[in-house]
Amino acid sequence: MSGEAILTPAPAIATAAVLAAAPMALLAVGTLGTSVLLAKGVRVLIDQRVEAARKQMETEKRQRAERWAAQLAQHQAGEALARDRAAGRAAERQLAQQGLREVRARQADAPTAAGFGALAGVATDAADPAIAERLDEVIDLLEALPVELQESKVGQRLERQAQGWREQSSAARPAPVTLEEIDALRDTVQRTRDHHRERLEQEAADRAQRLQRAETLLEDALFFHHLAGGQPELATLVQRLDAALAQREIAPASLALLEQRIDALKQDIARTVALDSLRPALREATLRHLRALGYAVLADFPATATDAPARAVLRVPEGEQIEVAVHPDGRLAFRLRHERAEPSSTLLTDAEQALLRRQEVRWCGDMRTLLRGLAAEGFALSLTFERAIPDRSIQIAVLETPAEWDTRDEEVERRERARFVRPERGSQQP
């Protein structure tokens, strides 16, 4: 028998429905209706909150996109100015190098000391034209490098090496620089250039991927922020993402931490929204099914939600009352009570005992009918506790009006709820 019973929901189903409605989830699973089976009443309430959050998210996305576009235009203007200045510095270096070449060429064309009757036995070494030409090729490669590579430590070291060799080759007594050494330097410059280009391409691809992840994460965070009706920590994380996207840069470690924390907050918000949607739908469906079984509502569930269990009282056909409590975590609890017309402290008579036990048997069957009806609507409930009411625990209810019910002693109600939620150990199981 089930004079006292608790039905426990599977809130993970409703939570999954909320998560499936998020922007990131929609990219993979489509619509809520095709991804999660859910009671219609719960679905309607979730869909209403989801739609409102989505509209707010889309509005905020457009506003942020406009602001980012303006900031990007300013950033691009600054980059263009930086490129112009760098090109100017490169042109100055190129002019300087061209001037050095012209000086060296005039020196090469000038008559040597031997041509003016130099003293016998005085020898002069002329620069090897092949070496000078090969060094010019290396200098040209260096000048063609990207500005950021030219100004890097590697680029400056390579340039110093090439310039040093060229100065040595144009001296009166050139140092012994070989073509093989110059070719090795040229190969090093080319490999450095190619590696730099590959690295920049990979960095650009990685940055674009991170920014795409950050944009998707921001969209998801905005959605859940509005779905929760405002969540302080999530609002802070949204600001961090917004600042990173405005700068078009976000570090991999920072992005990973943001993803982890936002995912945890999403789970909490989804569960809260799921329970907020489950409880009113469960209350409505429970009373509807019990009315269909002939139960009369004596006290309806309160219109406003609180942190305490929402309670309703119904009269069982042919006598006695059943108290229904929907708890904040979605549990649906029942307790059968004996009904008297007048207050009395006397023990139950044999006739009253017999009526209570007869109605307890009836309620046991009706509760299973109710459970099947709720399951048919999509409510995933399982019977996690039931027992026949011990004689010493029988509650006696006096016929009351709804106003009298609302003004019952709060301490009495607290003790009754505590006993009902945590049944006595060793109690009889049906």
Instruction: Identify whether the C-beta of residue 311 lies closer than 8 Å to the C-beta of residue 324.
Output: yes
Residue 230 lies in a domain: no
Instruction: Identify whether the C-beta of residue 7 lies closer than 8 Å to the C-beta of residue 375.
Output: no
Inform me whether the pLDDT recorded for 251 exceeds 80: yes
If pLDDT is split at 50, 70 and 90, which confidence band does 72 have? Answer: low
Give the pLDDT confidence score for residue 371 in this predicted structure: 93
Average pLDDT of the segment spanning 85-99: 59
The more confident residue out of 25 and 62 is 62
User: Per-residue pLDDT tens for 289-339?
Assistant: 999 999 999 999 998 877 889 999 999 999 899 999 999 988 999 999 988
The more confident residue out of 31 and 203 is 203
* Locus of tokens 């674009």: 208
Residue 387 lies in a domain: yes
Instruction: Identify whether the C-beta of residue 217 lies closer than 8 Å to the C-beta of residue 170.
Output: no
Residue 47's CB: how many other CB atoms inside 10 A? 16
Residue 130's CB: how many other CB atoms inside 10 A? 10
Give the pLDDT confidence score for residue 311 in this predicted structure: 94
Give the pLDDT confidence score for residue 236 in this predicted structure: 92
Give the pLDDT confidence score for residue 240 in this predicted structure: 92
Instruction: Identify whether the C-beta of residue 301 lies closer than 8 Å to the C-beta of residue 312.
Output: yes
Q: Name every residue whose Cβ is closer than 8 Å to that of residue 419 and which is 6 or more positions away in sequence.
A: 393
Percent of the chain with pLDDT over 90: 24
Which bin fits 249, alpha (ψ -120 to 50), beta or left (φ > 0)? beta
Residue 369 lies in a domain: yes
Residue 134 lies in a domain: no
User: Per-residue pLDDT tens for 357-376?
Assistant: 999 999 999 999 999 999 99
Instruction: Identify whether the C-beta of residue 381 lies closer than 8 Å to the C-beta of residue 7.
Output: yes
Give the pLDDT confidence score for residue 149 in this predicted structure: 82
The more confident residue out of 156 and 260 is 260
- At residue 227's C-alpha, the angle toward residues 48 and 14, to 5°, is 65
The more confident residue out of 424 and 189 is 189
How many domains, in total, are found in the chain?
1
If pLDDT is split at 50, 70 and 90, which confidence band does 25 have? Answer: very low
Residue 63 lies in a domain: no
Average pLDDT of the segment spanning 166-184: 73
Inform me whether the pLDDT recorded for 402 exceeds 70: no
- The mean-pLDDT minimum among 273-282, 323-332, 413-422 falls in 413-422
Inform me whether the pLDDT recorded for 420 exceeds 50: no
Residue 323 lies in a domain: yes
Give the pLDDT confidence score for residue 13 in this predicted structure: 64
* Locus of tokens 């969540």: 231
- How far apart CA 128 and CA 425 sit, in angstroms, is 105
Residue 354 lies in a domain: yes
Average pLDDT of the segment spanning 8-32: 58
Average pLDDT, the chain: 77
Which of 388-393's residues contact partners 24+ apart within 8 Å by CB, and which partners? 388/1, 388/2, 388/3, 388/360, 388/428, 388/430, 389/3, 389/4, 389/335, 389/336, 389/356, 389/360, 390/424, 390/427, 390/428, 391/353, 393/419, 393/424
Structure tokens at 70: 């303006």
Quote the domain boundaries for residue 394.
4-11+279-421
Using DSSP, state whether 345 is helix, strand or coil: coil
Give the pLDDT confidence score for residue 270 in this predicted structure: 87
For 275-331, list the strands marked E by DSSP. Answer: 296-299, 310-315, 321-326
Give the pLDDT confidence score for residue 359 in this predicted structure: 92
Give the pLDDT confidence score for residue 120 in this predicted structure: 44
Residue 328 lies in a domain: yes
